[in-house]
Structure 1
Amino acid sequence: MRTGTISRKTAETAIDVTVDLDGSGTYDIVTGIGFLDHMVEQFSRHSLIDVTLKVDGDLHIDQHHTTEDSALALGQALAQALGDKAGIGRYGTAYSPMDETLARVALDISGRPYLVWKAGFTQEKLGEWDTELIEHWFHSVAQTAGITLHCELIYGSNNHHICEALYKGFARAMRQAVERDPRKGSAIPSTKGQLGG
């Protein structure tokens, strides 16, 4: 089974996360930030990656540590579940429309973390979540999962739709990338014989 489980405890957050790459998109998400919960739920449902994520963070200070640390732990769990990445599709691309908004996400599970972010928001909060933390969430996941990740807002005006389109695009691209390709068998999808470094 391609699963990953991470427990991450610091003076700022206590996090437990489990993922199953071969799931059905079931989730149990409690971060203490409602809109972040909603977005990780969207990621799980549309990637078909089962995600359980429980966070006890220092929200009395602000949302930064909870957002960043939960994303780091989720990325670590994804990397653990991927193992040596044998047989995976590796690449994924998705266009994600939501009403007036269109987002594009492309990624490579390369082992080389990198984020290109071409999106933005015109309001400071979605629900109670600071919108400046959304880019940081994607950066943190890419960092620990070892993903080269390109997120782009092509057009759109509604901030909720922009955020949701980006998360759903990420989910659909991840679904492509983590799925096993029967033609590859157990081969590592790289001419180097390994991914990363």
Structure 2
Amino acid sequence: MRSATVQRSSHETQVVVAIDLDGGDVSISTPVPFFSHMLSQLGVHGGLGLSVEATGDWMVDAHHLVEDTGIALGQAFREALGDRLGLERFADRTVPLDESLIRVAIDISGRGMAVVELGGNRSLALGTPAFYVEHAEEFLAAFARHGGCTLHVHSLADGNTHHQLEATFKGFAKTVHDATRVTSDAVVSSKGLLDG
């Protein structure tokens, strides 16, 4: 069973995330509709079982809610990986959505870091409450740090911000799916372990 559930509670947010790397239902509930839409893309295109229930001080700004969801999801992802035996480990995808083109690369190395360069109009808000490009950047960085993976996301062609962000989450989903495939019975590392 490559699955895990994480609950994160603070004065700002309450987040419960459940993930199954081998598939299942997708159920997303947040007070930020565009963020919920993006998380649905992650579950569907990543072939994941994914449940997210998140609420908090979104009326101030969606930042806390989005970042804390990324933290909880990263923690659940790391736990669900278990001993990491046989993981493909590396993956990359280039994903278009109309005029937008995004490249995503991942290494499930145990070392959590992210380089996210989406460019475009970072001040443009999508939906109510507002979801900004920088919210996506914070979510991906939080996931990588707490999920123990190196993540690179780069915009190769900007355009409509909705298209850009949707291509980002679909590309992220596909790389997670590819990198978590079990393709052998060994740890893919010359060190013999993936611990950072």
Same fold by TM (over 0.5)? yes
| Structure 1 residue 124, shift from structure 2 partner | 2.2
AA paired with 2:77? L
- Give the whole-Å Cα distance in 1 for the aligned partners of 2:133 and 2:114: 17
Unaligned runs of 5+ in 1: none
Residue 126 of structure 1 aligns with which residue? 126
Question: Contact (CA 8 Å) 1:92, 1:108: kept in 2 or not?
Answer: yes
Q: Which amino acid aligns with 1:195?
A: L
Equivalent residue number for residue 20 of structure 1: 20
1:73-152 aligned within 5 A: 73-122=72-121, 123-127=123-127, 128-152=130-154
Q: Provide TM-score, normalisation by structure 1.
A: 0.94
- 2:57 equivalent to 1:58: yes
In the superposition, the TM-score normalised over structure 2's length comes to: 0.95
Q: Is the 8 A contact 1:124 1:132 kept in 2?
A: no
| Cα distance in structure 2, aligned partners of 1:59 and 1:154 | 31
Identity of aligned residues (%): 39
Distance 2:116 2:7 in 1: 28
> Counterpart amino acid of 2:142?
S
Match of 1:164 in 2: 166
> Does the residue aligned with 1:129 lie in a helix, a strand or coil?
coil
Displacement, 1:130? 2.5
Q: Distance in 1 between matches of 2:193 and 2:156?
A: 33
**What is the deviation of 1:11?**
1.0
Cross-structure match for 1:68: 67
Pairwise CA distance, 1:131? 2.5
Residues matched between the structures, number: 193
List gaps (5 residues or longer) in structure 2: none
Measure how far apart 1:142 and its partner are: 0.4
- Of 164-173 and 123-132, more deviation after overlay is shown by 123-132
Q: Which amino acid aligns with 1:175?
A: H
Residue 77 of structure 1, CA deviation: 0.6
Contact 2:118 2:133 in 1 (8 A): no
Contact 2:119/2:158 (8 A) holds in 1:
no
CA distance in 1, matches of 2:188, 2:9: 34
1:55-91 deviation line (CA, Å, top 9, x unaligned): 1211232211101101100011100100121111001
